[in-house]
Structure 1
Amino acid sequence: MGIFSRFSDIVGSNLNSLLERSNDPQKTIRLIIQEMEDTLVEVRTTSARTIAERKELERRLQRGRDDVLDWEQKAELALRKGREDLAKAALMERARVEDSLNEWRQRLPLYDETLTRLTTEIGQLQDKLDDARARQAGLTTRHQAVDSRWKIRRQLDQEPVTQENFTAYEREVDQKEAHLEAHDLGRRKTLAEEIEELAAKDRIDQQLAALKARMAGETKES
């Protein structure tokens, strides 16, 4: 059985309360998101079906209007030909089609009301889902931070931090940098790299000029 049993349960849920009561918040938020996503799919499917049915009803209405006009023209033709009996029969068919049209017209507002409600529900579900995903991201970040802190704590407990540790680490970094520099020896710089070096040099020149100007100003003030 899911966490939620109906749409109103999802919209009215208090995620904070659910997570506070949970023994495993990460698992709970995953289940909540899954159920929200499943419900959203169901509501969207219902919306698509309703839209399709409304379009079909509109096509029926248009065909019905065409039939009314057609039977009216047939009745006029029958009268011109002196066949009042046929004209009367055509008018009866016209009346039958108009009855169907009236019934179909009454259905249109029902479809519109349903689509309006479904659109609102989709918006509410999407907002709730976005909130749940944001909370999941926050829980994941907190979980990773705690894991990192525990790893650091265990490392510190296992191996005291000494000058020798740092020196060994610096040597390792030096070796990696040396390999990288050796790899770049003889390699022609790309156009993008040359332009980036020019930009970096220009930034340094600007900072140097600004520093000289500030020092000159301080000298004058003193």
Structure 2
Amino acid sequence: MGIFSRFRDIIHSNINAMLDKAEEPEKLIRLMIQEMEETLVELKADCARTMAQAARIAREHDMLAAAAGRWGEKAELAVDKGREDMAREALLEKRDLEARANVVAGELAAVEGLIEACREDIATLEEKLASAKERQRTLLARHMRATGRKRMREDVSRADSSEALQRFEAFEARIDRLEAEAELSGTTASRRRPTEDQSLDARFDRLAADEDVERELAQIKSRRAQ
């Protein structure tokens, strides 16, 4: 594939669309960047050769124009000396050189147009390359984040299934069982606790309540007897 064919393919390609459809976008963009860089190097080299050609053509044009100018001076000298025949020959040489200079000037204009187009192509390709490298950095950052999340989840998964966690859960279950047994034991003991374990105030309150009950009972008996 020629340099300009590759260049056209790159310029007309939609990098984002290609990456979105690719199964391995990182690998694809790495290859794209490599292709762009190689094409850019060849474009610059070709542009440099064209610029060198333009410089050579420009020198040739300047030489022809200078020679035509000298023959014009010779024609003037011949006229001054009364040698019209030599003046005509000098003018013919001048006209021939000017014609050749005009042809070379056309070649120079065409080559300069190629140089301008080549510079525009280089600028466009450099812009595409910068965009691709920016997308590469974005993909790399996303890959690092995804890899980090995956590694973290794998670590959590290993921790969940680790022997240490299982031992911890067994120990926790044992503590729960002991606490439940202690609570049940405390409830049974409170049910079997004798009255003398109660507080002194509670015992006096009970005595007062018993007296009230006995007094009310006596009143009922007295009414029934009457």
- Verify same fold: TM over 0.5: yes
Shift of 1:83: 4.2
The count of corresponding residues between Structure 1 and Structure 2 is: 159
Shift of 1:82: 4.7
Q: Deviations over 1:83-132 (max 9, x none)?
A: 44433332222111111111112223322322232222222211111111
Equivalent residue runs for 1:166-177 within 5 Å: none
Q: How far apart are the structure 1 equivalents of 2:65 and 2:40?
A: 37
Matched residues, percent identical?
A: 38
Q: How far apart are the structure 2 equivalents of 1:7 and 1:145?
A: 34
Unaligned runs of 5+ in 1: 161-222
Structure-2-length-normalised TM-score: 0.62
| 2:133 paired residue number | 133
Output the amino acid matched with 1:144: M
Output the amino acid matched with 2:37: E
Equivalent residue runs for 1:38-187 within 5 Å: 38-159=38-159
Structure-1-length-normalised TM-score: 0.63
Shift of 1:59: 1.7
| 2:7 paired residue number | 7
Q: How far apart are the structure 1 equivalents of 2:56 and 2:151?
A: 63
Q: How far apart are the structure 2 equivalents of 1:135 and 1:80?
A: 75
Secondary structure of 1:6 counterpart: helix
Larger Cα-atom Rg: 2
Output the amino acid matched with 1:66: A
Runs of 4+ more than 6 Å apart:
none
CA RMSD of aligned residues (A): 2.5
Q: How far apart are the structure 1 equivalents of 2:79 and 2:120?
A: 54
Q: Tell me: CA distance 1:5–1:109, structure 2 relative to 1, closer, same or farther (3 Å).
A: closer
Q: How far apart are the structure 2 equivalents of 1:75 and 1:92?
A: 9
Which segment is superposed worse, 80-89 or 55-64?
80-89
Q: Deviations over 1:109-165 (max 9, x none)?
A: 3223222322222222111111111111111111111222222223333346xxxxx
Q: Tell me: CA distance 1:119–1:5, structure 2 relative to 1, closer, same or farther (3 Å).
A: closer
Q: How far apart are the structure 2 equivalents of 1:124 and 1:87?
A: 55
Shift of 1:17: 2.2
Shift of 1:81: 4.0
Q: How far apart are the structure 2 equivalents of 1:155 and 1:5?
A: 50
Q: Tell me: CA distance 1:35–1:59, structure 2 relative to 1, closer, same or farther (3 Å).
A: same
Q: How far apart are the structure 2 equivalents of 1:65 and 1:110?
A: 19
Shift of 1:6: 2.9
Q: Deviations over 1:62-89 (max 9, x none)?
A: 2222111111222333344454443333
Q: Tell me: CA distance 1:57–1:123, structure 2 relative to 1, closer, same or farther (3 Å).
A: same
Unaligned runs of 5+ in 2: 161-226
Q: How far apart are the structure 1 equivalents of 2:5 and 2:51?
A: 26
Q: How far apart are the structure 2 equivalents of 1:103 and 1:64?
A: 10
Equivalent residue runs for 1:196-211 within 5 Å: none
Q: How far apart are the structure 2 equivalents of 1:6 and 1:147?
A: 35
Secondary structure of 2:23 counterpart: coil
